[in-house]
Homo-oligomer: A and B are copies of this chain.
Amino acid sequence: MSVARVTEISATSTVGFEDAVRIGVDRASKTLRGVRSAWVKEQQVRIEAGEITEYQVNMMVTFVLDD
Residues of A whose CB lies within 8 Å of any CB of B are 1-14, 16-18, 21-30, 35-40, 42-48, 50-52, 55, 58, 60, 62, 65
Asked if B37 and A44 sit within 8 Å, CB to CB, the answer is yes
Nearest neighbor of A8 in chain B, beta-carbon distance: B6
Indicate how many identical chains form the complex: 12
Asked if B10 and A4 sit within 8 Å, CB to CB, the answer is yes
Q: Which residues of chain B have C-beta atoms less than 8 A from A38's C-beta?
A: 44-45, 47
Asked if A3 and B11 sit within 8 Å, CB to CB, the answer is yes
Inter-chain CA distance A60–B9, complex, in Å, is: 12
Q: Which residues of chain B have C-beta atoms less than 8 A from A4's C-beta?
A: 9-11
Nearest neighbor of A21 in chain B, beta-carbon distance: B45
